[in-house]
Chain A
Amino acid sequence: MTLRSDLNLIQQWIQPNSQVLDLGCGQGELLEFLKYQKACQVYGLEIHPDSIVSCVEKGLSVIEHDLNNGLKHFKDGSVDTVVMTQALQAVRRPDLLLDDMLRVGKEAIITFPNFGYWRTRLYLVSKGAMPMSKTLPYNWYDTPNIHMCTFHDFENLCRDKQLTILDRTVVDSTHEESLSTRLWPNLLGEIAMYRVTR
């Protein structure tokens, strides 16, 4: 079973036999891996009907839920890790959801498109228009990504909330790490990945 490379990076941050909640779990690729390869107890939250059916077909526990309503189905400290891939920028209040993730889980793993990526910056500077790319394929008016942020912005938020960053990495659009993304993450990293705790 091969996992998409960003999900493969995430699964390495998750302990076997732990409890995992995936926010916006999509078709359940990560949870399927964690359940069957690492014996994790997994729950997914998802809003798209077809994705929910895909999760059911994979034998996963999935709850239909809009992340804008917070994580009310879950009690404080009820799971080990709460994961959210590529959804932080799409919720109404990322800061409040981040609080809720760390209310429910001991750790949170978050990935988001880095708006500070050099091509994004260049696009805005040269074209004077909201950037579009493979990672950001939408027009400004129909994009679900309503709270774009950069690597720096996110770290500032973590600092304000006094969160501890346990791991961070940035990858390019093919989800690969390289020396350059390590040296200049906010400029050369297209997708940011964080593991944080309170």
Chain B
Amino acid sequence: MPQDIPANSVGVVTPQIATFDEPLELRSGKVLESYQLVYETYGELNADKSNAVLICHALSGHHHAAGYHSMDDKKPGWWDSCIGPGKAIDTNKFFVIALNNLGGCHGSTGPTSINPATGEPYGSDFPMVRVRDWVESQARLADYLGIEKFAAVVGGSLGGMQALRWSIQYPERLHYSVVIASAPKLSAQNIAFNEVARNAIMKDPEFHDGHYLKHNTLPKAGLMQARMLAHLTYLSDDAMGEKFGRDMKSDEVRYDYSPEFEVESYLHYQGEKFSTTFDANTYLLMTKALDYFDPAQYYENDLAKCLSHAQCKFLVVSFTTDWRFSPERSEEIVDALIEADKEVTYARIESEKGHDAFLIPIPRYVSLFSAYMNRVAKELAL
């Protein structure tokens, strides 16, 4: 619990809900007749509605990006280090919107919501959504809030894919796109990791073809397995070495297979925590959205041609030990943007934190990000 709300925090925030009754036709061909999106906002929307920044979340993210829900919260929102008064995304200048994506499990319509057609939770009947569907739903949220054009759309990892997708799907609706620790498409290795995770979930006997809620159960073991695997791919060898080394929980070797090394119990703890707070179907859906993302495929696999439709300026950031979304993948985006004659700034931040680095306030990262967002504010006269 925060004894006092820090001065550079957005403070206590309350999530809001927007309901949409206009059907949303998804890339898969399926249609969502109606849906709701849960979101939070920080800062004030200015009179001409020109200072809005959209935050796109990653696989396990949600709408609670900054501040506290109550004074009892142990931790602030997931990107509190970068959103707040005087922070990189300065809420004294910007009106920040963070939402839970469609298909999520934190309040937006998703697999745990009630399917109006059956009166029961959607479960695996919830249609698969792709990054472009998220962008579409985010654009409708922008309409709902009266925002014609974002100052910036910002995201890390899967969120970076949304920021990139925004630039070509609604080129006239954003001034800047900030793409952090992301990639223009997943590699075979990345898809393979996702498939192992999905397989762990779907092979859990409690999965019941995705209708576990109907059976009053949860595929906890499978989701835990999936999270443990994914979590370790977000860390680097060095980061794990530094954090755990070969430390053991006790001095005596036990000669059994329960967790003995600190790294084992850490992974178990992370997996356990995740498996009780996250929905397995959402996990499947999010990983599939990652796998499918490949905007260049509709442009003869020419990313430069694809991004030539963008009208915004770009900031691309990568982290040296991120092997899940390596700097080389970010540089593919950078090279394509240069080829397409777009304005792009790129930084490859030295860090031992692996993919997770994008959520960590590394001084160099924060100073670059702050400078860039200041530039956004300055160029838009905010």
Determine if B375 and A64 form an interchain contact, defined as CB atoms under 8 angstroms apart.
no
Chain A residues closer than 8 Å to B334, beta-carbon distance: 63, 73
CA A57 to CA B338, docked complex, whole Å: 20
Q: Which residues of A contact B (CB under 8 A)?
A: 41, 43, 49, 52-53, 55-57, 59-64, 72-75, 78
Chain B residues closer than 8 Å to A59, beta-carbon distance: 375, 378-379
Chain A residues closer than 8 Å to B313, beta-carbon distance: 61
Determine if A78 and B338 form an interchain contact, defined as CB atoms under 8 angstroms apart.
yes
Determine if B347 and A61 form an interchain contact, defined as CB atoms under 8 angstroms apart.
no
Q: Taking the nearest CB of chain A, how far is it from the CB of B147, in angstroms?
A: 24
Say if the beta carbon of B371 comes within 8 Å of chain A.
yes
CA A62 to CA B313, docked complex, whole Å: 12
Q: Which of B341, B348, B374 contacts A57 (CB 8 A)?
A: B374
Q: Which of A53, A72, A74, A78 contacts B371 (CB 8 A)?
A: A53
Determine if B346 and A63 form an interchain contact, defined as CB atoms under 8 angstroms apart.
yes
Chain A residues closer than 8 Å to B372, beta-carbon distance: 56
Chain B residues closer than 8 Å to A49, beta-carbon distance: 347, 364, 367-368
CA A64 to CA B348, docked complex, whole Å: 6
Q: Which of B331, B343, B367, B378 contacts A61 (CB 8 A)?
A: B343
Determine if A56 and B341 form an interchain contact, defined as CB atoms under 8 angstroms apart.
no
Determine if A75 and B346 form an interchain contact, defined as CB atoms under 8 angstroms apart.
no
Chain A residues closer than 8 Å to B341, beta-carbon distance: 41
CA A72 to CA B371, docked complex, whole Å: 26
A56-B375, A57-B375, A59-B379 known; A73-B348 Cβ under 8 A: no
Chain A residues closer than 8 Å to B348, beta-carbon distance: 64
Determine if B367 and A73 form an interchain contact, defined as CB atoms under 8 angstroms apart.
no
Ordered by A's residue number, 24 sampled pairs between the chains whose C-beta atoms are within 8 Å are A41-B341, A49-B367, A49-B368, A52-B347, A52-B368, A53-B367, A53-B368, A56-B345, A56-B368, A56-B375, A57-B371, A59-B379, A61-B343, A61-B344, A62-B345, A62-B346, A63-B344, A64-B346, A64-B347, A72-B335, A73-B331, A73-B334, A73-B338, A74-B338
CA A56 to CA B365, docked complex, whole Å: 13
CA A191 to CA B339, docked complex, whole Å: 34
CA A59 to CA B344, docked complex, whole Å: 10
- Interface size, chain B (Cβ < 8 Å): 22
Q: Taking the nearest CB of chain B, how far is it from the CB of A47, in angstroms?
A: 10
**Given A52-B368, A73-B334, 16 further pairs, Cβ under 8 A:** A41-B341, A49-B368, A52-B345, A52-B347, A53-B368, A53-B371, A56-B345, A56-B371, A59-B375, A61-B313, A61-B345, A63-B334, A63-B345, A73-B338, A74-B338, A75-B339
CA A6 to CA B341, docked complex, whole Å: 28
Determine if B368 and A43 form an interchain contact, defined as CB atoms under 8 angstroms apart.
no
CA A43 to CA B371, docked complex, whole Å: 17
Please give me the residue from chain A that is nearest to B343 by CB atom.
A61
Which residues 348-374 of B sit at the A interface, judged by CB distance below 8 A? 348, 364, 367-368, 371-372, 374
Chain A residues closer than 8 Å to B346, beta-carbon distance: 62-64
CA A49 to CA B350, docked complex, whole Å: 10
Chain B residues closer than 8 Å to A56, beta-carbon distance: 345, 368, 371-372, 375
Q: Taking the nearest CB of chain B, how far is it from the CB of A32, in angstroms?
A: 13
Q: Identify the interface centre among B313, B335, B338: most chain A CB within 10 Å of its CB.
A: B338
Chain B residues closer than 8 Å to A53, beta-carbon distance: 367-368, 371
Q: Lowest 4 CB-CB distances: which A-B pairs, in order? A: A56-B371, A63-B346, A61-B343, A53-B371
Chain A residues closer than 8 Å to B367, beta-carbon distance: 49, 53
Chain A residues closer than 8 Å to B335, beta-carbon distance: 72-73
Please give me the residue from chain B that is nearest to A62 by CB atom.
B345
Q: Taking the nearest CB of chain A, how far is it from the CB of B320, in angstroms?
A: 11
Please give me the residue from chain B that is nearest to A58 by CB atom.
B375
Q: Taking the nearest CB of chain A, how far is it from the CB of B179, in angstroms?
A: 14
Chain A residues closer than 8 Å to B339, beta-carbon distance: 75, 78
Chain B residues closer than 8 Å to A73, beta-carbon distance: 331, 334-335, 338
Chain A residues closer than 8 Å to B379, beta-carbon distance: 59
Please give me the residue from chain A that is nearest to B363 by CB atom.
A49
Q: Taking the nearest CB of chain A, how far is it from the CB of B340, in angstroms?
A: 11
CA A64 to CA B330, docked complex, whole Å: 12
CA A75 to CA B368, docked complex, whole Å: 27
Please give me the residue from chain B that is nearest to A47 by CB atom.
B348
Please give me the residue from chain B that is nearest to A43 by CB atom.
B338
Chain A residues closer than 8 Å to B371, beta-carbon distance: 53, 56-57
Q: Taking the nearest CB of chain A, how far is it from the CB of B315, in angstroms?
A: 8
CA A63 to CA B2, docked complex, whole Å: 40
Which residues 98-135 of B sit at the A interface, judged by CB distance below 8 A? none
Please give me the residue from chain A that is nearest to B318 by CB atom.
A64
Chain A residues closer than 8 Å to B345, beta-carbon distance: 52, 55-56, 60-63
Chain B residues closer than 8 Å to A74, beta-carbon distance: 338
Q: Identify the interface centre among A55, A73, A78: most chain B CB within 10 Å of its CB.
A: A73
